[in-house]
């Protein structure tokens, strides 16, 4: 098949190009490249190095945690810092990890997953879920934007009613989990988005026992959602054209 290029990759923050080499239907090599200069470095010229995490975070309202974390690492490397206090390292990992728990389901459910579903199928929904019934009524009223109308999918579209209803239910559940993931990160970083705790040299905040307990409780909820819902949905939607003739099993 030769070289296959996907440019741009959509449903992400920024611009991305993927180049793959395909031999006999198998990808043998792949390269990813960013194709847009976002100007983070230029924004920092002439500024105090301690400004780096606060300035770079504000480039994006989704991946702010990664920008703040990485810019702090860059400043530390420039100053020759090779190791942080253990508690600072753990705090950073928990803050950024909570951001990951927010961002990954966001990308899957709210930026991508509904493209695989024929949401018009929900006009036949006869269940009792309040929110799905609200979406059903919006479809009937021709007022379901931005969920509908949509481009016709390239390849396949899932129109099994039970599967679509389950997926949309998980889409709505993921909104609730996003709120909790943001809350987790904000507990240890002051606020989200654009946290105020990760700085060059470590962190600025020591959580209370009550905050740690609240973080742990929400982490258990996140773990259950990721293991029993999110991963199953990712695997199901990743099975490709099988969706055309075989209903999927959702977690």
Residues 91 and 16 in one domain: no
pLDDT digits (tens, 9 = 90+) for 114-135: 877 888 899 999 999 999 999 9
Domain count, the chain: 2
Residues 96 and 5 in one domain: no
pTM of the model: 0.79
Query: In the chain, pLDDT over 90 holds for what percent of residues?
Result: 50
SS3 33: strand
Average pLDDT score over residue span 90-97: 93
Give CA separation, 102 vs 29, 186, 191, 217, 218, in Å: 30, 12, 14, 16, 12
Residues 169 and 111 in one domain: yes
Residues 186 and 128 in one domain: yes
Residues 211 and 131 in one domain: yes
Q: Nearest-5° angle of CA 236, CA 127, CA 243?
A: 20
CA pair distance 100, 106, nearest whole angstrom: 10
Residues 19 and 121 in one domain: no
Residues 117 and 231 in one domain: yes
Average pLDDT score over residue span 41-52: 89
17 part of a folded domain: yes
Residues 114 and 15 in one domain: no
Residues 231 and 125 in one domain: yes
Half-sphere exposure of 34 (CA within 13 A, CB side): 7
The pLDDT of residue 14 is 65
- The domain in which residue 222 lies consists of 86-191+203-244
99 part of a folded domain: yes
Residues 128 and 229 in one domain: yes
Residue 241 has pLDDT above 50, yes or no: no
Residues 32 and 127 in one domain: no
Residues in the chain, total: 251
Cα Rg of the chain, angstroms:
21
65 part of a folded domain: no
The pLDDT of residue 245 is 36
């Amino acid at each position: 098949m030769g070289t296959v290029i996907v440019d741009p990759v959509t449903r992400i923050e920024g611009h991305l190009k993927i180049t793959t080499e395909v031999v006999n239907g198998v990808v043998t090599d792949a390269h990813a490249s960013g194709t847009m200069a976002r100007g983070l470095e230029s924004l920092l010229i002439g500024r105090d190095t301690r400004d780096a995490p606060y300035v770079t975070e504000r480039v994006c309202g989704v991946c702010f945690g990664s920008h703040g974390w990485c810019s702090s690492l860059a400043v530390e490397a420039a100053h020759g810092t090779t190791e942080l206090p253990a508690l600072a390292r753990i705090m950073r990992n928990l803050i950024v990890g909570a951001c990951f728990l927010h961002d990954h389901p966001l990308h899957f459910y709210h930026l991508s997953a509904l493209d695989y579903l024929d949401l018009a199928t929900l006009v036949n929904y006869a269940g009792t879920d309040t929110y799905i019934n609200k979406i059903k009524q919006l479809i009937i009223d021709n007022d379901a934007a931005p969920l509908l109308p949509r481009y016709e999918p390239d390849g396949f579209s899932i129109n099994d009613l039970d599967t679509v209803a389950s997926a949309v239910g998980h889409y709505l559940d993921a909104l609730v989990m996003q709120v909790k993931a943001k809350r987790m990160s904000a507990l240890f970083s002051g606020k989200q988005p654009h946290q105020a705790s990760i700085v060059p040299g470590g962190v600025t905040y020591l959580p209370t026992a009550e905050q740690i307990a609240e973080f742990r409780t929400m982490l258990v909820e996140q773990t259950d959602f990721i293991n029993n819902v999110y991963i199953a949905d990712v695997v199901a939607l990743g099975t490709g054209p099988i969706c055309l003739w075989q209903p999927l099993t959702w977690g």
